[in-house]
Chain A
């Protein structure tokens, strides 16, 4: 059975902000949303960096999961924009399609990183770990 971290995301917290998933691949967005919603998280999605930054500026997400190669505004630009608005308090989880995720994660100040294609369990564990204290 999938883990359901209700401890860290208690029932009744629906008004709390959600996780923002940014990826230009619609199927991958769908899969990530599905996995996170199974775990009880509220999820919003964006298809490019520009859209994500606008959404995140209107309503602060609790976590941003982003891909590096994004249209309009790339992952690095988006991360810089998010830092400008929220500082280091907003956690970022990076998902990249190449094997050199560590360098990139360090560059954008991500708390964790995953390489595509990732295991669903890995994704859920990384999200729970990042938001564990909240």
Chain B
């Protein structure tokens, strides 16, 4: 086609009429990049009259068939975002580009806002997740309080957050502690706790969230001595958000305050988020409180046990001493029934010894439970002699049972705490008697296992009693745990085996049990013959949990 530059055809005129009326901006640019035509909408978009535009350089790259976005700066300084579609046409007989332009500034803004909103929500979810983890795992009130304050400050966009929360001391008296977020603790150390002023009291009373765009404009603000507003040196606060943390039973556990120096910072959304976390915080704080109360109760129980056990020793000493002295007196006399009296006094004496062992076991177990070390009094001890002595002592209280010592060696000497081993064996034997009410044979086997390295002593106590249900075997060595077939039928405390295991493990040994209900029970104790100080240290560490 021959070039006919500048010459308009009737077709061009028709096209122009259509373009003039188009709502979108339209410009025609020739191959040289010079604007040949601009419609009124384009004039508006660029903020310049068509006369200015036509004949000038368009300045934006043009690719036929492409849609691009342009950032347009108007002569007035305004900016707008324009979406441009380009098609190739023939204009005045020459190849040219026709660009359709649409102002998409509002749409772009909306998209940016939506992206920001999504980011913000993602951040909110992240904070809430973190806080939920802290709430679920932390059992320390101070740690929880800090997590709550930090989360609240981030969620609200506050400059500063403070949480005043009430904790109970050992006497059950409430006192207030606080955490801060966004400001060092020193910044607030000078200031007293917030008081029950008209501004704060709805929060103290647990009446719900208070959100103020500008607290200094609030009639309740600044009317109270001694400060009349925030104290000097306090961060200036305009935006104010306060929320009570209320327990399920309606008790106000604490008060959360957020502030910002600019007015109008806290949105309704921030208020809702704070309300949501305070509900969670209340549950977590209450759990922490319950946890602490339970821990304190356990500690008090253990302390009481230790003190009570200790105090029982004095009267026992008096009973034992009196029984022994009376035996002396009766032996010197020529009373007709001297033997019966002496037998009775001897039984009193033995009973006191048994009670003492029980108390000592309780003391040992409690001591370890309280995390205190249990020093062993190790000296050379003959296990065979020890077993014989325990069986001799126990025979009088076992009238239906035959107690038998099966010593595989004449003597078996190791470096052990004799008193504690005696207590342990005595407990295993008296258990064997107690839990075989039909009688039967109770055998204590003492053997040396030379095959083991290091060599170890085996102490086996076997009875033909009622046995222990298989399901209970794993927990009978735990303090206060007993076989389900004896609970509330045969009295007992659940201390003996716990103490036995403790003593054996502290010697670096091991205790195991095999049992069949209705057939009998066998306890086996292995003890290293030589003292191994390292094993003792390990046991002590692991028992201080």
Contact = CB atoms under 8 A, between A and B. Distances in A.
Interface of A: 1-2, 23, 25, 27-28, 30-32, 34-35, 38, 69, 97-100, 102-103, 116-121, 123
B360 A28 contact: no
Contacts of B316: 116-117
A38 B315 contact: no
Interface of B is mostly: helix
A97 B321 CA distance: 14
Contacts of A116: 313-314, 316-317
Nearest to B322: A31
Contact of A1 (B319, B325, B331, B356): B331
A98 B315 contact: no
B282 to A, nearest CB: 45
Contacts of A98: 310, 313, 363
Contacts of B332: 1
B20 interface: no
5 A-B pairs with least C-beta separation: A31-B321, A27-B318, A117-B317, A97-B313, A116-B313
A112 to B, nearest CB: 15
A6 to B, nearest CB: 17
Interface in B329-358: 331-332, 352, 356
A113 B21 CA distance: 117
Contacts of A102: 377
Contacts of B321: 28, 31-32, 34-35, 117-118, 120, 123
A104 to B, nearest CB: 12
Contact of A97 (B310, B377, B419): B310
Contacts of A123: 321
A69 B352 CA distance: 21
Contacts of A23: 314
Contacts of B324: 119-121
A97 to B, nearest CB: 4
8 contacts: A27-B315, A28-B314, A31-B318, A69-B310, A99-B363, A102-B377, A117-B317, A117-B319
Interface in B38-57: none
Contacts of A119: 320, 324
Contact of B313 (A32, A100, A117): A117
B313 A34 contact: no
Interface of B: 310-311, 313-322, 324-325, 328, 331-332, 352, 356, 360, 363-364, 375, 377, 419
A32 B317 CA distance: 10
A106 B119 CA distance: 71
A100 B375 contact: yes
A46 to B, nearest CB: 16
A32 B328 CA distance: 14
Contact of A35 (B315, B325, B364): B325
Contacts, number: 70
A105 B314 CA distance: 18
Nearest to A95: B317
Contacts of B317: 25, 28, 31, 97, 116-118
A79 to B, nearest CB: 20
B314 to A, nearest CB: 4
A27 B318 CA distance: 6
A66 B317 CA distance: 14
B61 to A, nearest CB: 92
B375 A25 contact: no
Nearest to A23: B314
Contacts of A25: 314-315, 317-318
Nearest to A118: B317
A35 B323 CA distance: 11
Given A35-B325, A38-B325, A69-B310, 16 more contacts: A1-B328, A23-B314, A25-B317, A27-B322, A31-B317, A32-B321, A97-B310, A97-B314, A98-B313, A102-B377, A103-B375, A116-B316, A117-B319, A117-B320, A117-B352, A118-B321
Nearest to A121: B324
Contacts of A97: 310-311, 313-314, 317
A34 B317 CA distance: 13
A16 B200 CA distance: 80
Nearest to B315: A27
A30 B321 CA distance: 10
Contacts of A38: 325, 328
A32 B316 CA distance: 13
A116 to B, nearest CB: 4
Contacts of A117: 313, 316-321, 352, 356
Nearest to B312: A97
A68 to B, nearest CB: 10
A86 B415 CA distance: 39
A35 B329 CA distance: 11
Contact of B325 (A28, A31, A103): A31
A102 B315 CA distance: 22
A49 B56 CA distance: 114
B313 to A, nearest CB: 4
B102 to A, nearest CB: 92
Contacts of A35: 321, 325
Contacts of A121: 324
Nearest to A123: B321
Contacts of B314: 23, 25, 27-28, 97, 116
Contacts of A103: 375
- Residue among A117, A119, A121 facing the most chain B CB atoms (10 A cut-off): A117
A2 B315 contact: no
A99 to B, nearest CB: 6
Contacts of B352: 117
A106 B322 CA distance: 29
A35 B317 CA distance: 13
Contacts of B313: 97-98, 116-117
